[in-house]
Amino acid sequence: MTSGGRIGISLAVCVSGLLYGGIVQGESESKVLPGDPARGKTLFVRNCAGCHGAAGGGDGYRLLGPDPANLTSPSTSRKSDAELLKTIHNGKPNMPAWKENLSESQSRDVLAYVRTLGK
């Protein structure tokens, strides 16, 4: 085999490895560890129900600006766990960021409970 052929094969193997590694890394980053819905319900009632409503329908306390999200809606169900966790952590215009008040585990628990609301 010529040196050009060896370089070509080496390059193909290297690129394949990088592509595979990127796919595997993307899969691991998009998955969120599961939470406990029972603990999440307790946290939800204490921290979220005031605005989102007891059943998560967005019918709680309203401020000036956007209404609280209806967590039972199909649009919420279609959002990824990572997207919803980002919202819990960073907040929205009328929603406080919870990253200082809830641990990562507690946030996953709330998310697990929210996932039960649309069913």
Q: Distances from the Cα of 26 to the Cαs of 19, 20, 72, 99, in angstroms?
A: 11, 10, 28, 23
Give the C-alpha separation, 46 to 29, whole Å.
29
The DSSP element (H or E) to which 51 belongs, if any, is helix 49-52
Give the C-alpha separation, 89 to 92, whole Å.
9
The pLDDT assigned to 4 comes to 53
Q: Which two tokens stand for residue 111?
A: 């998310």
**Whole-structure pTM value:** 0.71
Higher model confidence: residue 9 or residue 66?
66
Q: Which among 70, 107, 72 is positioned nearest to 90, based on CA atoms?
A: 107
Query: CATH class for domain 37-117?
Result: mainly alpha
Express each pLDDT in 5-56 by its tens digit: 445 444 344 434 444 443 334 444 456 678 999 999 999 999 999 999 999 9
